[in-house]
Structure formats: C-alpha cells, structure tokens
Amino acid sequence: MPEGDTVYRTAKHLHEALAGRPLTVSDFRVPKFASVDLVGEIVEGVVARGKHLLTRVGDHSIHTHLKMEGTWHIYRHGTRWRRPAYQARIVLENADWVTVGFELGVVELVERDREDEVVGHLGPDLLGPDWDPDEAVRRLAADGSREIDVALLDQRNLAGLGNVYANELCFLRGMLPQRPVGEVRDLPGVVTLAHRLITTNRDRVERTTTGDLRPGRQTWVYGRDGRPCLRCGTRIRRGSMGASELTQRVTYWCPVCQS
C-alpha cells in the first residue's frame, strides 16, 4: 500500500494539472457514480489527507484511495495510456491534461461539506498543514497494551504512515515492533522522527530511510529479511502482526539492534 508521501506527491501533481480549470470529461467507471457528470465544473484543488485524496470540484469532492494497487497517471491528450483501459476507475480531463485513476480502491463523490464523513476519522496528518504532534502522541498512548507497530499503522492515530515507515521507525528507535506502546520510552521522539522521515521523502520518488539511494541500502530492515543488518550484520527477521488475516502486515526487525 502506498505511503503518505506517495499520496502527497500524487495530490501535488494532480493539483498542478487540474486546479483552476473546467472539466471537459468526467468519467466515473464505478457503477454507483457512472451517471455523474461534472463537465464544465471547475476543479478548485486536489489535497491529500493521510492516504486519501480529495479532488474538490464545484460543490462536491471526489474521494479516492489508492489501497494496494491504485495509481493516478497524468497524460497529454493523444498520449497512449501506460495501463489498460479496463483498469481505469475514473477519468478527469481538461483542455490540457488527461488524468486517469487506475485500480483505485475507493472512488466516491461526496458533498464538500460532508468530507468529514470519509476522512474525519483520521488522526493528525503527518504531511498536512495542521500537523499536531501532541495530539498524535496522545492518540498513540491511549492504548498502552497495543503493539507499537500496529499503533503506528492505525490511521486514527496519525495519518500517512504505512508499513515501510512503521518498520523503519521501530528499527531506528531500537524497539521491537511487538513492544507495547506503554513500554516505549520516548513516544514523542517516535512521532518527531516519523514526521522528519516522511517529510524528507515527500518530494522524491526514491524513498530512503538510511540516506543511501543505492539498491538494497535504502531501508534498514524493510524488505531485507534474511539479509545482514546494515548496522550489526545480524540476519534480518520477518514475521506478521495484526489481529486477523485481514489486518496482518509483514514485519521486519533486527534481533540484536531492537529489543
């Protein structure tokens, strides 16, 4: 699933292509909204809220979520799409650009004054203008028995972190992902580091938490199971966490550097 930095960049590029221009095509390829026609409406802007996207058009907002496989593409008119048309869930065009949302996990239309119904449950947005670290700490600390990895991934605590960042944060803070939140020594420090990591990566496609962009060295533990820890040389381990098969995530850690 894309992390908040990916969604932030997606919103930025869509905003540049769509904002301030009237739509010439509005094609919702999901049954519930197939008859919606926003042609002629001016796009006010596109914003990210955690991992959610809100495209504000007239009195409505188009709410989309990439989930695991989704992506937005932006094309010049006449350019061949890089993915098959049957994967398109929504197409928005203006006189200059064609924007296509492929395999989006969520596509829905809500009234502008009802946006909270789709994103109001989210915690403080790590990349939002209203980022509130104290509130993020308060929400994380509310359940001290919960594993820190699971708590970091809960978008109701802080919005934007995905599995990569949660695993890397646990390594960088020297804590096992299974450690209960109540036993984390410096929760504000975890939140501060989360904000710094995702902010550092928000404007670049090549994400790194190590500061190294070379293949195989961009992360400390994520995706490196069975390989030597970049810090101590111990083999990275892999497991899964979550309350059920539907919520389980793959977890990586170094058994020596984390405790």
pLDDT of residue 246: 43
Active-site hit among 9, 51, 173, 207: 51
Fold of 133-253: Helicase, Ruva Protein; domain 3 (1.10.8)
Q: Helix or strand or coil: residue 217?
A: coil
Query: Is 237 annotated in the active site?
Result: no
Query: Is 31 annotated in the active site?
Result: no
In the chain, ranges of CATH 1.10.8.50 domains: 133-253
The class of domain 4-119 in CATH terms is: alpha beta
pLDDT of residue 247: 55
Query: Is 12 annotated in the active site?
Result: no
Specify whether the CB–CB gap between 108 and 119 falls below 8 A: no
Active-site hit among 2, 146, 179, 207: 2
Give the C-alpha separation, 132 to 84, whole Å: 41
pLDDT of residue 241: 72
In the chain, ranges of CATH 3.20.190.10 domains: 4-119
Q: Which DSSP symbol is given to 73?
A: E
pLDDT of residue 2: 85
What pTM does this model have?
A: 0.93
Angle at 169 between CA 165 and CA 170, to 5 degrees: 120
pLDDT of residue 240: 85
Q: Which amino acid belongs to residue 199? A: T
Active-site hit among 12, 29, 238, 249: 249
Residues of the chain with pLDDT under 50: 244-246
Give the C-alpha separation, 65 to 60, whole Å: 16
Phi, psi of 85 (to 5 degrees): -60, -30
pLDDT of residue 3: 94
pLDDT of residue 1: 64
Specify whether the CB–CB gap between 228 and 179 falls below 8 A: no
